[in-house]
Structure 1
């Protein structure tokens, strides 16, 4: 028989400036043939305290207690399984496959503990949530700070990062502004492209950014990944003009609905170092948020809503009057 060990260990960015002397807390659950160990380490990263999770599963023979979780020679070996007549077979422990939501729950849990320590009441996480993160990632949002109030293009905008980018000159970060509706439908564009003029004629148009290209977001909900589109986060995909014909076919087949699409005129893009410098210069707050928040019916107050959900200093910013620079 095999002995399985599942380790869940808290980690943060491996950088000396983020090191912590807080002792590691651990708890374990063990049975005859199964040991489940949880280890959480409280860390605070800049102004954005949260916890992240690494999952590692290892196995070893029940008659061999010499291996350790860190022994690479023992990892990733397939299990021989358990005999069908073995009533003591280990049970499986399910984990949420959306790691972003799992991280959000850990962050909110820490905020609850902080609120309780200060004698305040806290609200449980709902369908709409947002919290700060230290670095940009695919599917995060860039929330304009008051430093951009004087720049009409990006003042009080929320940019959904479709790709976090690489150091390759042609693969920098890019995304779309998601809180600037143009209050027009595609039919008002008088497009010569048949699918836009017919299948998607009633879809709303948004200003996506100053760079020239058209993109669309597709809310897929609980549907499995759809070929031909790139997933931004679970339940949300994006496509370009090149994938429009495929999208139209899926609509005609009844797989997708026109109202699940949101079209953008233009997009925002950076070089990798350029975006990092803008964040370090406090032009953007970086946050993770739920797809329900991004795909909400109303987007014009999204800037304020995200900042309020982020809490603390961010919530205060949402109430400040816009600066005329």
Structure 2
């Protein structure tokens, strides 16, 4: 991808990223500009139960109806990503990220959100980068950048998302989908 990171793209941790919080993560970028970037980890469940944290939203959340761990920044806060049910409307409390996918403010009354979205996912926390930080990590080879699909953001089986996204790229990149923790086995 020739230009810098953009909202709506995926960041996929490379094998070079190593261990730590972002090992084998897939991040959906919500915002990226000269002041920095932020996104949510799509393939990690939060330890907290959605019905205990935000019980009023549980029935609106897409399967697996769980709270996802969006990242290490503000883990006690919540970020909601939603896909419009009717692409010709911009409901109150919603801001477009890419196409029909955007951010829904969780202060929006649930009654207004009901029926307005075809998919909805809530994340505890987010991943964030200061100005130039993500670009530096990209240059170091810590991340792959790929186009996203709705299934990436709202799929029901997110535990193998890292491998699926790498595999669908084809070529040399697809080989990384079979990466193991023990380099002797690669």
Place the TM-score, normalised by the shorter chain, in its bin: 0.7 to 0.9
| TM-score (norm: length of structure 2) | 0.83
CA contact (8 A) 1:308 1:315 kept: yes
Asked which structure has the greater RCO (Cα within 8 Å, sep 6+), the reply is 2
CA distance in 1 between counterparts of 2:10 and 2:134 reads 13
Hey, which of these two has a bigger chunk of strand by percent? 2
TM-score (norm 1): 0.49
Deviations 1:1-48 (A, max 9, x none): xxxxxxxxxxxxxxxxxxxxxxxxxxxxxxxxxxxxxxxxxxxxxxxx
Where does structure 1 lack aligned partners over 5 or more consecutive residues?
1-132, 190-195
Contact 1:214/1:263, CA 8 A, preserved across alignment:
yes
**Where do 4+ consecutive residues of structure 1 move more than 4 Å?**
none
Aligned partner of 1:161 in structure 2 is 29
Q: Which residue of 2 aligns with 1:234?
A: 99
Distance 1:177 1:247, change over 3 A: farther
2:62 — aligned with what? none
Q: What's 1:173 paired with? A: 37
Q: Residue 314 of structure 1 aligns with which residue?
A: 173
1:143 aligned partner: 12
Higher Cα Rg: structure 1 or 2?
Answer: 1
Quick one: which of 116, 119, 122 aligns to 1:255? 116
Matched, 1:298 2:152: no
Q: Does 1:274 align with 2:136?
A: no
Aligned to 2:67: 205
Matched, 1:223 2:84: no
Aligned residues: 174
CA distance in 2, matches of 1:209, 1:323: 25
Gaps of 5+ in 2: 60-64
Q: 1:247 to 1:149 in 2, by over 3 A?
A: farther
Q: CA RMSD in A?
A: 2.1
Structure 1 window deviating more from structure 2 (271-280 vs 213-222): it is: 213-222
Secondary structure at the aligned position of 1:182 is classed as coil
Measure the CA separation in 2 of the matches of 1:301 and 1:280.
Answer: 26
Question: Residues 154 and 163 of structure 1: is their aligned pair in 2 closer, same or farther, counting only changes over 3 Å?
Answer: same
The residue aligned with 1:8 is none
For residues 166-199 of structure 1, give each alpha carbon's deviation from its aligned partner in whole angstroms, at most 9, with x where no partner exists: 23xxxx200110110237541233xxxxxx33x2
